[in-house]
Structure 1
Amino acid sequence: MEAPRGVELSAAQGLLQISGRKDLKLESTEGEILLDASTIQLGNLPLGTFSKSSSRASHEQSVYEVCVCPSGKVYLSPAHSSSTCQAMNNICLWS
């Protein structure tokens, strides 16, 4: 969709669902993209690995941080006392 003064998608009540067979791209050339909701869910994010991982098994990990690769791909990484996001990991290198 394209319009000289903008496009607005809204649902006064109920679900607003946007889907595509392949990629769905949101792009702002002169502004920002704002996701304003009480809950924002990102389903099926890949799980990255952290090279200095603790001895705890992965099924015991309960807190993750959301990381972003230089390419823009989003993934989860086990949370520790400092960031575990790494640009040179299995997710970013093969995205």
Structure 2
Amino acid sequence: MYFFMDFSLEGNLPAGGKTTLQLITEDEVVLMKTPYAQWAKAPWSNTRSSLQSRLLEDRFFVRHYRNISCMRARLWEGMTPMSGGQWKSRKLDDTAN
């Protein structure tokens, strides 16, 4: 979470350097804590939770952290950041692709 916030607020990349993408503004940071029902347009305006509360929910965080952790480990080893099953389901093992 720290690295994501460092990237989105400051633009720092994990390998060093800065991103050229647009960063989150101060106004948008406030919206991360505010429930969607108070500021978002339909269909998200029916959601009573905020982005921050959803990110801090255990089931959301653990599920996504595990996926990111596996991808990071594969990238670190110089491997494709997807499982063999995903690779085959997307037909990337076909020489035409």
In the superposition, the TM-score normalised over structure 2's length comes to 0.18
- Which has the larger share of helix? 2
Higher strand share: 1
